[in-house]
Amino acid sequence: MDITAEDPVCNRKFALEKAAAAEEYKGWTYFFCSTECQNIFNGSPTTFANGPAPLYPDP
């Protein structure tokens, strides 16, 4: 089953397997469309990490 992830920085949705980067924070794994978004996240994780990382099953 394909899983869709949402980038917490730019809110873009993409297939999990296409994630450019992943980051663990407070027990949740967040996925990013690019390392730029990962860097922004790391600069201010509390801004973007609000609870569970959003993952959506493909319709």
The contact set with Zn ion (CB under 5 A) reads 7, 9-10, 33, 37
Judged by beta carbon, residue 39 or residue 52, the one nearer Zn ion is 39
Rounded Cα distance, 51 and 59, in Å: 23
Question: Smallest distance from the beta carbon of 41 to Zn ion, in angstroms?
Answer: 9
Judged by beta carbon, residue 1 or residue 46, the one nearer Zn ion is 46
Question: Smallest distance from the beta carbon of 24 to Zn ion, in angstroms?
Answer: 17
Pairs from 37-40 (Cβ < 8 Å, separation ≥ 24) = 37/7, 37/9, 37/10, 38/9, 40/9
Judged by beta carbon, residue 37 or residue 53, the one nearer Zn ion is 37
